[in-house]
Amino acid sequence: MADAQGNDIELVGVPLSGRIAIAPFATAIPTPETGADPELALNAAFKPIGLVKKDGGPQLAYAATGDPLDFWQDGYEIPSGLAEVTLSTTAAEILNAEVRKLVAGVAPDVDGYVEVDGGGHATRYVLWIEEIFKSSAIRRRVCPNVSIKSSTEDKNSRGEVLGIAFVFNIKRSAAVGGKHWGEWVLPAE
């Protein structure tokens, strides 16, 4: 509830936990109504990437790109409509088959073996992000069209968590009205 100055401490996002999961491209995503359900049962095709490093929580970055479209009348322009949208996160479970699959583009075989091409792969995914805040509010995001832009393994330091930092490219999708992602905020109880 807002105070006399209009400030509401319950709307401050202090993340405590959450999950990041990946599903094959074109996996059905929750509808606006089902995504708003606090008891949402996410499609079984979504596989969590597991633990994330303390400082490696999801970070969206988005910026318009391209020159704005100018008009003859001075002072009038509209954005080009082009954008670069990425999400960065650092997975801690580097031995997790889903994390290894993100790096290689294919799952490890029954012997745990996978061949990795450092040039990347063209595999696309559906990305799910759920953040649980100290206030008990929940923010959910679904990005129906993502690919791996880069993956960078942390420097291997004795006694420290070794992670893999992923940067996902997020493209527009008809599944979210031609936008980059869909988002729900479930207010604090």
Pairing of strands 69-70, 59-65: unpaired
pLDDT at 12: 87
pLDDT at 93: 96
pLDDT at 140: 98
Mind listing the pLDDT tens digit of every residue in the chain (189 residues)?
789 998 988 888 889 999 999 999 999 999 999 999 999 999 999 999 999 999 899 999 999 888 888 999 999 999 888 899 999 999 999 999 999 999 999 999 999 999 999 999 999 999 999 999 999 999 999 999 999 999 999 999 999 999 999 999 999 999 999 999 999 999 987
Alpha-carbon gap, residue 28 to 174, rounded angstroms: 12
Q: 20: closest CA among 45, 46, 49, 41?
A: 49
DSSP notation for 44-98:
TT-EE---B-TT---EEEEEEES--EE-SSTT-EE--SEEEEEEEEEES-TTSHH
Check: CB of residue 167 under 8 Å from CB of residue 88.
Answer: yes
Distances (CA, A) of 139 to 87, 96, 108, 153: 15, 25, 32, 28
Residue identified by tokens 């088959």 is 97
Residue 98 corresponds to which tokens in the numbers above?
Answer: 């889903």
Q: 22: closest CA among 144, 171, 153?
A: 144
pLDDT at 100: 96
pLDDT at 82: 87
pLDDT at 163: 96
pLDDT at 1: 77
Residue identified by tokens 């832009």 is 149
